Amino acid sequence: MKHILILLISLTLYAESIKISLHQLANHVSESNHINIILDPKIDIESNFYFFSVLSPRISLNAFRIIISENGYLLSKLGNIYYLNKRPEKKFKFEYIKYNNIPYEKLEKLASFFNTELVNVGGSQIIVKYLDVDMFHNFKRYVSTLSEVKHVYLEGEIISVNEQQLEDIGIDFTSIASSINSIGSFDIGLFTNVNNNVAVQELISSRGINELGDVSFFINLLKESGAAHVVTRPNMMIMDNGTSVFKAGQEIRIVSSSTDSVRNSGEYSSKQYEMLDVGLTLDCSAKILNGHALLDFKFVISELIEYKPLLDVLVIGGHTFTSTFDIKDGEQIMLAGLTTSNDVTYNASVPYLSAVPLVGNLFNHDIDKVENISYIIYFKATIK
C-alpha cells in the first residue's frame, strides 16, 4: 500500500504534463506490485519527452498505453525501459494544384487558413505542402472555385482568292502572302502596281498611311478587286489548354463495308455506310499565360475528286496547313499559303462568227485550264 501511495504522489507531480488519468492507472496497480518509476534528470521536462525505468515487470500497462496515446503520447519499450514521448509528427506531403488568375498573396492567405503551405508557384499550377489531408482537399476545392478559366475568342473570315484574277489586275498574291508577318501587317507597297481596278485605287487613296498596313484593309482590298470571296465566317471560343474545331462543307455518305451471302432463295448483299466530312476544317488549340495566347492552328481542305459507289472507288484530295501564333488581346491573325488547284473548262469563241449556223463551231472551242485558288484565314483575337 505504501508503494502505491508513492506511485500516485509521483504521478500527480507530472499529471499536467503527461496527461494521464491517475484513477485509470491506479486501477491496474495491485498491492502485490513492487514498482518504482524514476524520471531521468537529463531529460528536459519542457520538451515533453520522458524516460522511465520500471523495476517491476508485473505491472499491466495496457490501459496506460491507451490513455497516453489518446492524449498525444506514445509508450514504447526496450527491455524493461519504457520511453514516454509525444506522438511523432506526421510527414509532410507534397502535391500539385492547378489554378488560374489568383494572385499569389491571395493564394498564400488561403493556404495558411487551411493549414497548407505554398512551396512553389509557376505557370498554371502550384506545389503545396500539408499535413492534414482533409484540410488540403478543402483548400484544393476552394481554389478550384476561385480559378477563372480564361478563353480566347476568334472572330473572322475564311476567304478564297483566285490568283489568276489578281494577276489580271496587277496584284501578285504570292508576294503578298509571303510578306504577311505573324501579327498580320504587310508591306502596302506591293499594291502600288494595281493598274486598272478603279475600286481598288479608290480604296487605297481613301486610307491614311497608318491604316494601309492593317489586315482589315488587306481583306477589303481583296474583296474590292473582285478576285476574293468569303467562304465562311467562323466564330470560335477556345478555353485555356483546350481545343475548338470549326467545319464548313458537306457530309458524303460512302460505303464503309459490304457483304455478299448466298442462301437457298438466292444471293443477298448488305452494305454499311458512314458519313465523311468534305470541305474546310479548322482546328485550333490555345494556351493562355500572362495576357498572351499561344495558338496552334491546323487548317485542312478536303474535296471529293471521284466517287463511284458501284465500283467502291473513292478519291479524296486534301491539303493541310499548320501554324503557331503568340498573340495578345486585340491583335489580328492572318494565315495564308494554302493553295488548291481546280481544273476549269472555258469556252473561247469569236463574237458573231460563232453564232453562224453550220460553220459556227469552227469559231468556237473549249479551253482546259488549271485554276489556283488560295485560302486566307483572318481572325481578330479577344482574350477574356
The per-residue pLDDT for 367 is 66
> 361 and 244, same structural domain?
yes
- What was the pLDDT predicted at 138? 78
Q: Are residues 284 and 225 located together in one domain of the fold?
A: yes
- 175: in domain: yes
Which among 86, 110, 134 is the end of a domain?
A: 86
The domain tally of the chain equals 3
- 100 inside domain: yes
Extract long-range pairs of 165-171: CB within 8 Å, 24+ residues apart.
Answer: 165/225, 165/226, 165/227, 166/222, 166/225, 166/227, 168/227, 169/194, 169/195, 169/196, 169/197, 169/200, 169/225, 169/226, 169/227, 170/194, 170/195, 170/196, 170/197, 171/225, 171/227
pLDDT in tens, 167-214: 776 666 665 555 444 444 444 444 444 445 555 556 555 554 344 446
Residue-level pLDDT at 246: 87
Torsions phi, psi for 33 (to 5 deg):
-80, 140
Closest CA to 334 of 240, 189, 228, 193: 228
Q: Are residues 112 and 233 in the same domain?
A: no
Q: Are residues 180 and 285 in the same domain?
A: yes
Domain range enclosing 123? 93-148
| Whether residue 131 is found in the same domain as residue 42 | no
For the chain, percent of residues with pLDDT exceeding 70 = 44
Ramachandran quadrant class, 264 (left: phi over 0; alpha: psi -120 to 50; beta: rest): alpha
- Is residue 295 located within the same domain as residue 211? yes
Tell me how long the chain is.
384
**For residue range 303-328, what is the model confidence (pLDDT) as tens digits?**
776 666 655 656 666 778 788 888 88
CA 106 to chain centre: 24
108 closest CA partner among 346, 99, 178: 99
Q: Report if residue 7 sits inside a domain.
A: no
Cα of first residue to Cα of last residue in the chain, in angstroms, is 81
In a domain, 379, yes or no: yes
Strand order from edge to edge, sheet including 242-263:
242-263, 266-289, 292-308, 313-328
Does residue 249 come out as left (phi exceeding 0), alpha (psi in the -120 to 50 range) or beta? Answer: left
Structure confidence by residue, pLDDT tens digits, 87-117: 445 566 767 676 666 667 777 777 777 778 7
| Mean pLDDT, the chain, integer | 64
> Higher pLDDT residue, 333 or 54?
333
- Domain co-membership, 60 together with 166: no
Kindly report, residue by residue over 215-256, the tens digit of the pLDDT: 676 777 777 777 788 888 888 888 888 898 888 877 777 777
Residues 183 and 328 in one domain: yes
Distance CA 216, CA 5 (A): 98
Residues 327 and 179 in one domain: yes
Separation between Cα atoms, residue 283 and residue 298, nearest integer Å: 5
